[in-house]
Amino acid sequence: EVQLVESGGGLVQPGGSLRLSCAVSGFTFSSYWMSWVRQAPGKGLEWVATIKQDGSEKYYVDSVKGRFTISRDNAKNSLYLQMNSLRAEDTAVYYCARDWIGYCSSTSCYDAFDIWGQGTMVTVSS
Amino acid sequence: DIQLTQSPSFLSASVGDRVTITCRASQGISSFLAWYQQKPGKAPKLLIYAASTLQSGVPSRFSGSGSGTEFTLTISSLQPEDFATYYCQQLNSYPWTFGQGTKVEIK
């Protein structure tokens, strides 16, 4: 069964750090780009970061650049998000998601997030 | 950054209604658009990718269309299980962005 299971969320004070993990099973983890998406309470979805299969390319939303680091361990089938200098506005449910290529035409490949974890809650508060 | 604006933000409809949600991009994104459905307390579910391709296992009453800057998600005959919030997402260029969501409620 294809599964993504996040862990590591919790309550942290402003300025603190937290490391989220996403354990993957049911597919060849090393073959896929992976991403983190967050959702603040009662709000919409926000893409946070994406990492290439071998970790050689990483992309971040501006609001977390310099504070968050996405990484992966293909031997452990795990995705991570190291979050430092946390702020109240980082409070959200954090989802990991598989970046899947639906199909490729002669010129472009079209992807989407086809598998999502259940999410882990991060609360930044004093 | 590419902004996605969904309309309407809220929609009240009855079972059996035809429902259309629009997603407008602030600049052209070709067909690099996906649609998701999210129910309360659950992770999003992929419905449509490449603007108009139905994800495997998704009922055929869902369809997507559009290219460039204007896109639509249509539910041909709303079912009780379709009451949820729907999001569009552009994957044309980083930072990837989502629309603000459209909540479909029971009339």
> Per-residue confidence of chain B (107 residues) as pLDDT tens digits?
999 999 999 999 999 999 999 999 999 999 999 999 999 999 999 999 999 999 999 999 999 999 999 999 999 999 999 999 999 999 999 999 999 999 999 88
Chain A contacts of B34, Cβ < 8 Å? 112-113
Q: Phi and psi at residue A40, in whole multiples of 5°?
A: -65, 155
- Per-residue pLDDT tens digits for A15-49: 999 999 999 999 999 999 999 999 999 999 999 99
- Which chain A residue is nearest to residue B88, measuring alpha carbons? A45
Average pLDDT over residues A93-102: 96
Q: Is B46 in contact with A112 (Cβ distance < 8 A)?
A: yes
* Phi/psi at A63 (5° precision): -65, -15
Residues 6+ apart with CB under 8 A from A97: A4, A34, A35, A36, A37, A113, A115, A116, A117
Band of residue A103 on the pLDDT scale cut at 50, 70, 90 = confident
pLDDT confidence of residue A105? 87
Contacts of B99 (CB under 8 A, 6+ apart): A44, B4, B5, B6, B23, B87, B88, B89
Contact A110 B87 (CB under 8 A): no
The answer to whether B53 contacts A114, with C-beta atoms less than 8 Å apart, is no
B50 and B90 Cβ atoms separated by less than 8 Å: no
Cβ contact A47–B96 (<8 Å): yes
Nearest CA in chain B to A96: B43
- Which pLDDT score is estimated for B52? 97
Q: Suggest the residue from B4, B49, B53, B88 to mutate for an interface test with chain A (most A CBs closer than 10 A).
A: B49
Q: Cβ(B106)–Cβ(B48) under 8 Å? A: no
